[in-house]
Structure 1
Amino acid sequence: MSDRRPLLVIDGDSFAHRAYHALPKTVRRKGDRGGGAIVGFANYLIRLYEAEQPRAVVVGWDTLAEPNWRALEFAPYQGGRIFEDEIVEQLEVLPEVVTAFGFVFGKAGRFEADDFLATAVAMEEKAGGAALVATSDRDAYQLASDQTTILAPIKGGEIARIDPAGVRERYKVEPRQVPDFIALRGDPSDKIPGAKGVGEATAASLLQRYPDLEAMIADNRFPTQADDLRLYKRIATMVTDAPLPPVADAKPTWGKAAALARDWELNNLADRLQQLADKA
């Protein structure tokens, strides 16, 4: 493994939603538009960058304007999710914030933020580097490896660092088995039903006996559900072919970010960013 600094990979939607619900709706920007998700997300970015000192930052985003490939393959996927207009509007402009910071973002039709996270990790590992993946989504446990650590926010602003041993401790399976685990157990938040009568403990127990779902099917388990379970596993698997360019080393452009925040009349954020620019 290279001794270069790690690549920081951030689940943009995960942190934007956390910020939106954590800050009061009275945080407004120019034109009396919502500003809480922007301010909170920017503060997360600053905190993560300062704590980890990465070589560069990549932020992955969902595209809400059209169905992603998972919803096209499995119509119930994430069905029933309704977002308030103010978070949707801020999600549309948050990639602009990432660019102003001097960071790279991934967002494209039919892909989810998850796929940009996995693509960035695969690229970094292939290059011999290390990655840090910041997300509250446990699906990302499948990315944990000797080179990649998951940074999961917990209460009080603390961050849990989850490596393969941490995945085994939490789920009782290997990181590579996480999509099989989700397919078997199901995921109510994504509307993945899972195997009939199989919960978390049974799913983990099966994956301690079999290497993966396919081995179970070959052993004549779940004969009437095999095709459905294969689909659920495919849906739960982060893909590594999202359109993301190579990520060069980069330093934050605090001054540009401060100027954007000032233009949006988010003055407290602008002041904080300007202080960082002055110290750089």
Structure 2
Amino acid sequence: MPELLIIDGSSMLSTCYYGNLPKSILFAKTEEEKEKHYEQILHTSDGKYTNAMFTMLRTLLGIYKKVKPEYVAFVFDKTRDTFRRTELGADFYKANRKETAKPLKEQFIQMEEFLQEIGCAVFMSDDYEADDYAASLVEKFEGPDLQTYVLTKDHDYFQVVSEYTRMWRVVNKDKLEQLKETYGLFGNDVYESLPANVFEYTPEIVYAEEGVYPQQIPVLLAITGDPGDGIPGCKGVSSAAAPLVDEYKSLDEIYAAIDDCEGVAKKEKELNGFWKEYLGIVRSPLKALKTNREMVYLSEKLATMKRDIDISCGLEDLKMRVDIEKLKEELGRYEMASLIKEVENM
């Protein structure tokens, strides 16, 4: 069966950048201190930073040698000012994140151009995030005749996992061993053929890990929030979130149960009793859910990946057709001689 591999380029490049930084920058306490050591970051003779690019390209070559997918698409973030801030008015969304460091910001542009130059399909825009493009690609192309994989380290991608789509989540070695042991996958031939430090999530494994199935992940995040993305959720309800979502499936159904009480103390006590006895919820989330209703619904919108972006290309446009001579030329431009040798030996 043909395979489509969707790669979260922003996540991979960021991980590669921070994983290949000089200690003088990693341990610096202020941005000013870090900037003093920027010259120690891997760079070309004309000053182009390359530490993240080099590591990412080496990783991609390793993935290709192991997996050899027939179709490949890269998705990138371009800005934080997407529709979540503009249309939804959530100016707090991702506001907790620091400004992207200059050496990484430059490499985002360089990496995106590099991939396009060698013939790879790259998706990004000012309106949507990388995960929105990934979800829209999945929505358009997944099916019984195409096995789809999404490669990322970000947990919010759990929501795209389905019968036809698997999430290849990048995890550290200890986490990988723990997951394989938990799900009895040691020695599994499938895992021997996966990229390094990658665990494959199915809908059943998402449920076992998160307490809800993939399609309910945005509902779960609407209540728990996501500190990394600045999604507030409903404070103080984290432990009750998964049982509630698993029972009611949607925010509308959760709030319908609450509204049925009509604010009557006796009915609310009965609802709390049901939650405690049948769902195992010891600390009642009722008051918090009522108080934060508007923010909970907004949080769901923020956590839900767009699945309806207009993807004008067809599947054949995503076919892996890397121009090898152009690849070697681009690697030469960034002075990556060791990777040129690796390409020639493939």
* TM-score of the two chains, using structure 2 as the length reference: 0.74
Find the counterpart in structure 2 of residue 272 from structure 1: 342
Where in structure 2 are the equivalents of 1:156-167 lying within 5 Å?
A: 156=173, 157-167=196-206
Post-superposition offset of 1:127: 7.8
The one-character-per-residue Cα deviations of 1:107-148 (angstroms, maximum 9, x if unpaired) are 111110001110111111158422100000000000001100
Please, which runs of 5 or more residues in structure 2 have no aligned partner? Answer: 23-40, 174-195, 259-285
Match of 2:83 among 65, 69, 73: 69
Partner residue, 2:315: 247
Letter of the structure 1 residue corresponding to residue 44 of structure 2: R
- 2:314 maps to a residue whose letter is P
**What's the offset of the Cα at 1:77?**
0.5
Find out whether 1:28 has 2:43 as its counterpart: yes
Counterpart residue number, 1:9: 6
What is the aligned partner in structure 2 of residue 129 from structure 1? 146
Name the structure 1 match of 2:71.
Answer: 56
Aligned to 2:137: 120
Q: Considering only CA atoms, is the larger Rg found in Structure 1 or Structure 2?
A: 2
Among 63, 75, 80, the alignment partner of 2:96 is 80
Change (3 A) 1:30 1:266: farther
User: 2:12, 2:321 → 1: CA distance?
Assistant: 21
Instruction: Name the amino acid aligned to 1:93.
Output: Q
| Per-residue deviation, 1:24 | 3.7
Look up the SS of the partner of 2:93 in the other structure: coil
Residue 237 of structure 1 pairs with residue 299 of structure 2? no
Question: 1:272 is paired with a residue of what secondary structure?
Answer: helix
Cα distance, 1:53 vs. partner? 1.8
The yes-or-no answer on 1:226 pairing with 2:288 is no
The 2-side partners of 1:28 and 1:273 are apart by 21
Tell me the residue number matched to 2:31.
none
C-alpha contact 2:131 2:305 (8 A) present in aligned 1: yes
Give me the whole-angstrom Cα distance separating, in 2, the residues matched to 1:99 and 1:47.
19
Three-state SS of the structure 2 residue aligned to 1:187 is coil
- The one-letter code sitting in structure 2 at the alignment partner of 1:133 is V
Among 155, 164, 182, the alignment partner of 1:138 is 155
* Aligned partner letter, 1:17: S
Distance 1:100 1:67 in 2: 27
Report the Cα offset of residue 60 of structure 1: 0.4
> Which residue in 1 is equivalent to 2:240?
202
Report deviation, 1:22. 1.4
Give the one of 208, 212, 215 matched to 1:176: 215
Cα deviation digits, residues 29-65 of structure 1 (max 9, x gap): 252221011111112222222222211110100112x
Q: Kindly tell me: are residues 146 and 127 of structure 1, through their superposed partners in 2, closer, same or farther at Cα, counting changes over 3 Å? A: closer
Identity %: 24
What are the Cα deviations for residues 4-41 of structure 1, in whole angstroms up to 9, with x where unaligned? x2100010110001110112453212522210111111
Superposition pairs for residues 143-154 of structure 1, below 5 Å? 143-154=160-171
Which residue number in structure 2 is paired with residue 257 of structure 1?
Answer: 327
Amino acid in structure 1 at the alignment position of 2:123 = G
Counterpart-to-counterpart distance in 2, 1:13 and 1:151:
15
SS state at 2:97 partner = coil
CA contact (8 A) 1:173 1:208 kept: yes
- Please name the residue that 1:18 is paired with: 15
State the match for 1:190 in structure 2. 229
**Per the alignment, do residues 185 and 15 of structure 1 end up closer, same or farther by CA in structure 2, a change over 3 Å counting?**
same
SS in 2 for 1:28: coil
> What secondary structure sits across from 2:96 in the alignment?
coil
User: C-alpha separation between the residues in 2 aligned to 1:177 and 1:263?
Assistant: 46
Q: TM-score, normalised by structure 1?
A: 0.91
How many residues are treated as equivalent by the alignment? 271
Structure 1: segments with no counterpart, 5+ residues: none
Counterparts of 2:64 and 2:309, CA distance in 1? 24
